[in-house]
Amino acid sequence: METSTTNIRQVKKIKIETHLEVFDSVSELPKEIQDLLSKAQQARENAYAPYSHFRVGAALQLASGEIVTGNNQENAAFPSGLCAERVAVFHAGATYPDMTIVAMAITARSLNQKVDTPTPPCGACRQALAEYEVKQKSPISIYFMGEVGKVVKSNSVKELLPLIFDSSYL
Ligand code: ZN
């Protein structure tokens, strides 16, 4: 048997690292982020979630100082509903078309169990948020938590969604 290593093609590998910050509680955050999470909590309580009983609230801090909120809106035809994060960002885009989003706070609460694990945005919401980060050419800080407990901070949507698909591919 002949063994050769010369014909083995080296597969190039890409390693992707994500950097997140974890805070033990809301009280460790800057005052303006605590306020933003408070707005997200208020929005969360108005969620329309009769099917999942999982209420999510999102609050956006715009560079102009405005705060725009959203919550999940479910539908009997399940895919017709929308997550809190996209409700918030589309609401902001519709109301302030030239906006720059500085930060987003997300919080989730379940009527079935205590949510003490930070709840990140789903994949579809990450893609939707990435669009605005590309559009405004500046990163969006994202803070997410459950109902209580730790808060995770991502400095950019790209940290949560590497290899984003954007308009440069079209
Ligand atoms: Zn989502």
pLDDT in tens, 86-113: 999 999 999 999 999 999 999 999 999 9
| In this structure, CATH architecture of domain 20-158 | 3-Layer(aba) Sandwich (3.40)
Output the CA 127–ligand 1 centroid distance in Å: 9
Q: What is the pLDDT of residue 134?
A: 95
The tens digit of pLDDT for each residue in 24-75 reads: 999 999 999 999 999 999 999 999 999 999 999 999 999 999 999 999 999 9
- Report the share of the chain in percent with pLDDT over 90: 94
Q: Structure tokens of 156?
A: 């950019």
Secondary structure (DSSP) of 24-56? SSGGGS-HHHHHHHHHHHHHHTT-B-TTT-EEE
Ligand 1 midpoint to CA 82 (Å): 7
Report, as residue numbers or ranges, the catalytic residues.
Answer: 85
Å from CA of 61 to ligand 1 middle: 18
Locate the domains of the chain by residue range. 20-158
Taking the centre of ligand 1 as the mean of its atom positions, its distance from the CA of residue 80, in whole angstroms, is 13
CA 79/CA 83 separation, integer angstroms: 10
Give bridge partners of residue 153 from the DSSP assignment: 21, 143
